[in-house]
Structure 1
Amino acid sequence: MLFLQNRLYITFLRLPLLIRVLFIALFVFLSFGIIIHLLEPHTFPTIFDGIWWAIITASTVGYGDYVPQTFLGRIAAVTLILAGAGFVSTYFITLASAAVTRQDRFTEGKIAFRGMEHIVIIGWNERSRELIDRLTALTPTPNIILIDETLKTNPVDSKYVHFIQGKSHMDETILKSNIAEAETVLITADRGNNEHQADMHSILTLLTIKGLCPNVKCIIEILTSEQVTNAMRAGADEVIQSNKLTSIFMENSLYSSHDGLLSDIVYQLKENRLEILSDDIFSGKSYAEVHALLYQQKYQLIGIKREEETILNPSPAFLINNQDQLLVIK
C-alpha cells in the first residue's frame, strides 16, 4: 500500500505544474463543497450547491446566492478564502506564464512543426528572404519552415512561416521540421564562409536530410562547380549553380546590344512560372502543333526535355515522343 502511494505521489510530481495546481484547486473546491454541505445542509441542500459556493468564494466573485449562516460555516468560508484564492490565483498566473513562455519559445524557434506538405528553407539570406516574400504572396499560401542557426528570432512576420533555430546538419533540428511530411527542401549556400566550406556545409545538411527521409525532394545551391558531382552523389534532386548562373547573366549583359534587356526578361519571369508538362496526347505531333495547342491554353512552349538532354526552341518539324517533357511558361 505504501509503495502504491509513493508511486502515485511520484507520478503526481512529474505532472506539469499547471496540471498539478489545477488538481489541487479542484480538490480544494470539492472538499470545501462537501464540508459546507455537511455543516449547513439547509443552506446548501446538495453537494453541488456547496461546490458552486466554494468556486465562487475562492475566485472572489461572491455572487451572494449562498451565504454560510453558522459560526462553523463562516470559519470554513474564511479558510477557503485564505487557502483557495491562493490556488486559484496561482493557477491563472501559471496559465498566463505558460502561454507567454510558449510564445517566446515559438518566436525563438524552439517549437517543432506538426503540419504537412510544407516547404523547408534552410539558411537565412537575401535569396531566401526574397523567396519567402514571393511564396507568402501566393494563393493558397504554403506553410514554410525556415531553419537557421544564426538568427535569434523569427525574421518574418507571417503566420505561414515557422522558424526553427538550430544547426541544419543536426538530426534534432531537422526532425523539428517534420521532414517526413515535407513537400520540398531548399538548401541555400552560406556566403558568409568561403565557397568551399559553404558547399561542404550544404552537402552535409543534404546528407542529414536524406538519411532521415530519403524520399523528400531536395534542391541545393552549390557555389563551386567541383562540388556539383558530390551534391548529386549525396542525393540532391536538383542542383542550382548560382555562381554559374550569375556568370552567364553577366556575360549576356556584356554582349547584349540593348541595355537591361536580360534583366527585364528575368523580372518578367518572376510573374510567370516555368513548368514541366507531360502528356501522351502530344506524342507524335510536331513541335509547331504542340506549341499551337498549348498557346490556346495560355502556355508558352519554350523547349523539350528528353531524358537527360534539354532542347530549347527546336525546329517546328521536331517530333515529340511519349517520354518527352514539355518546358512551358504559364
Structure 2
Amino acid sequence: QAEIRGFGDALWWAIVTIATVGYGDVVPKTAAGRILAVFTMLGGVGLLSMVTATIASVFVERRIREERGLEAVKLKGHVVVCGWNPWADETIDALLAQIGTGRVKLVLVNELLPDEVEGIRQKHDGQEIDFVRGNYVHENVLRRANVGSALVVIVLPDSSGGRSMERADERTILATLAVKSVAPGTRTCAEVLDGANRAHLERANVDEVIVRGERTGLVLAGAAIFPGLSEVLDGILSLESEHCLARVDIPERFVGRPVGELRRFLAQEQGALLVALVREPPAFRLTDLLSHDMSAIDQFIKRKFEEAEVPLVVKGKRHQTRVNPGEDELIERGEAAFVIRRRRD
C-alpha cells in the first residue's frame, strides 16, 4: 500500500530525505519508488553540499573584501580618519583616550596594505576598526566610508601607498573639498604641514585646522623663560597624565549668571578648573541676503539653492572664545566650558 499519495507527501519526503533527517513516517514502497529514492538521496547530498558551499563562499568573500577595504561601510555616528603617516597612531591613541575605547567605531580610509591595517587593529585591541582602501580625494571612496553619517571626519597628511609627504597638504585640501561636497553637514578636522595652507582649508569650510608644529617655537621659548612650563603642559596634555583638558556642557541654570558662580560650581562638584568659555560660530541664513519682499529673482535664487541641496543655514568659521573670563562676566546661552580635570575612564 502506497504511503506517498500526493504531491504534498512527495515534497515532504524529498525534503526530509535531502536534509538527511529521515523521520521514516513516509517511505516509498514500490520498486520504482525506491529506485527514484536512491537517485534523490545521491543527488540531494550533492545539492545540499553545493547550497551550503555557496552560502559559505558568499560570507567568506564578503569578509575578504572587508579586510582588503573594498566593502562599503554601513555605520552611523562613526569617526572617519583619512590618511596615514608615522604619527597617526598618536592621533588614534589620543582620540580613544578622550572618548574611550569601544565607545565609537573608527573607519580608516587610506592605501595601506591589509597586513598593515591588521597590525593597527592588533595594537588597538578592543576597538572596532573598519577599513576602506582607496584614494580618499575621490568622492566614491568617501561614500564607501559613509562620511555622510559620520560623527566627524579627520584628514591627516598621508604617506600611505608610498606617497611623498612633500605634496601631502595638496591632497588634504582636495580631500576636505571632496568631504564637504559629499557630506556638507559633517564636522571636519584637518592637519596641514605648512601654515600657509590654513587659509585654503578655511575657505573650504573645514571646522578645525591644525598646523603641525605651529606652537613648538612658542613652547620652547616659554620653557626657556619660565622653568617648569613643559612639565605643566605635559601634565595637561599627555595621555599618561591623570589630568586632561576637557569640554563640558554648562547647566542651563547658569545662563545669564556670573562666571564666578560657574567657576565655584565646577571646582566644588567636579574638581575642575575653568579655563575658557567657547561658543559655536554664529549661523546666518542665505535667505537673509535676499530682499524681504521675495521678488521673482529672489525666489529663483532660493529655488536654485534648494535644487543644489545647498543648506540655507550656514555656520560661521570661527568659534567665539573667552579665555580666563572675569568673575563678573555673564555666561551666554550656547556657551560651553573648557576645564582642566582628572581624567575619567
1:206-231 CA distance string (max 9 Å, x none): 00010111111100111111000001
Give, in whole Å, the separation in 1 of the partners of 2:53 and 2:138: 36
Matched, 1:79 2:39: yes
**Residue among 66, 69, 76 paired with 1:109:** 69
Question: Which runs of no fewer than 5 residues in structure 1 stay unpaired?
Answer: 1-40
Answer whether contact 1:183 1:217 (CA < 8 A) is retained. yes
Taking every aligned residue pair, what percent have the same amino acid on both sides? 29
**What corresponds to 1:146 in structure 2?**
108
1:80-105 CA distance string (max 9 Å, x none): 13333222111111111112111111
Runs of 4+ in 1 over 6 A off after TM superposition: none
Give, in whole Å, the separation in 1 of the partners of 2:69 and 2:130: 8
SS at match of 1:215: coil
**Residue among 153, 162, 170 paired with 1:185:** 153
Answer whether contact 2:236 2:245 (CA < 8 A) is retained. no
Answer whether contact 1:224 1:243 (CA < 8 A) is retained. no
Give, in whole Å, the separation in 2 of the partners of 1:224 and 1:276: 31
**What corresponds to 2:263 in structure 1?**
291
Q: Which has the higher contact order (CA 8 A, sep 6+)?
A: 2
Report the Cα offset of residue 135 of structure 1.
2.5
Report the Cα offset of residue 264 of structure 1.
2.9
1:80-131 CA distance string (max 9 Å, x none): 1333322211111111111211111111111111122221111234544344
**Residue among 285, 301, 308 paired with 2:274:** 301
**Cα 1:291–1:86, aligned 2, differ >3 Å: closer, same or farther?**
same
The alignment's TM-score, normalised by the length of structure 2, stands at 0.72
Matched, 1:241 2:214: no
Report the Cα offset of residue 204 of structure 1.
0.5
SS at match of 2:213: helix
Give, in whole Å, the separation in 2 of the partners of 1:62 and 1:284: 79
Query: Could you say which structure has the larger radius of gyration?
Result: 1
Report the Cα offset of residue 74 of structure 1.
1.4
Matched, 1:172 2:175: no
Report the Cα offset of residue 261 of structure 1.
4.0
Structure 1 counterpart of 2:63, one-letter code: Q
Q: Give the total of aligned pairs.
A: 290
Give, in whole Å, the separation in 1 of the partners of 2:191 and 2:25: 71
Give, in whole Å, the separation in 1 of the partners of 2:242 and 2:164: 29
Give, in whole Å, the separation in 1 of the partners of 2:27 and 2:332: 89
The correspondence of residues 1-330 of structure 1 with structure 2, limited to 5 A, is 42-125=2-85, 127-133=87-93, 134-135=95-96, 138=100, 141-152=103-114, 154-155=117-118, 156-157=121-122, 158=126, 160-190=128-158, 196-258=166-228, 260-267=231-238, 272-275=244-247, 277=249, 281-282=253-254, 285-298=257-270, 299-305=272-278, 310-318=321-329, 320=331, 326-330=337-341
Answer whether contact 2:102 2:127 (CA < 8 A) is retained. no
SS at match of 1:120: strand
Let me know the Cα RMSD of the aligned residues: 3.1
The alignment's TM-score, normalised by the length of structure 1, stands at 0.75
Give, in whole Å, the separation in 1 of the partners of 2:241 and 2:206: 25
**What corresponds to 1:24 in structure 2?**
none
Question: Which runs of no fewer than 5 residues in structure 2 stay unpaired?
Answer: 282-318
